[in-house]
Amino acid sequence: MATTLELIRKVKTQVQELTGFSADSVSEFSASDGGWEMTVNLLELKRIPSSTDLLAAYRITLDGEGNVTSYHRMRRYLRDQVMEDAP
């Protein structure tokens, strides 16, 4: 069984290969039935200054081996945009 960090590294690599965008960060990670779910933030458009970079949050579903089984872009945002969590 891979460690959490190994799993996150593997997913970042898979998502980058699938989408062509580089993984910026993981903002959510949880176990699900027989696998994992996480939200990975991808850099979709690099700009100058970097505060105006366009990022997107993707919801990733993984099987028990850590392989991506599905992904969905949930939202796009600028790097400097403050997002409040829903109550």
pLDDT digits (tens, 9 = 90+) for 2-53: 788 888 999 999 999 999 999 988 989 998 888 999 999 999 989 888 888 8
> Residue 57: inside a domain, yes or no?
yes
> In this structure, is residue 70 part of a structural domain?
yes
Q: Does residue 86 lie in a domain region?
A: no
| Spatial contact of 74 and 39, defined as CB atoms under 8 Å apart | yes
Q: Is residue 48 part of a domain?
A: yes
- Domain range for 36 is 4-78
The number of distinct structural domains making up the chain is: 1
What CATH number does the domain containing 14 carry? 3.10.450
Is residue 49 a part of any domain in this protein?
A: yes
Residue 29 lies in a domain: yes
Q: Which of residues 41 and 1 earns the better pLDDT score?
A: 41
Give the helix/strand (H/E) hosting 8: helix 4-19
What does the alpha-carbon distance between residue 61 and residue 38 come to, in Å, rounded to a whole number? 7
pTM of the model: 0.83
Confidence of residue 54 (pLDDT cuts 50, 70, 90): very high
Residue type, position 51, single letter? S
Task: Tell me, yes or no, whether 84 lies in a domain.
Answer: no
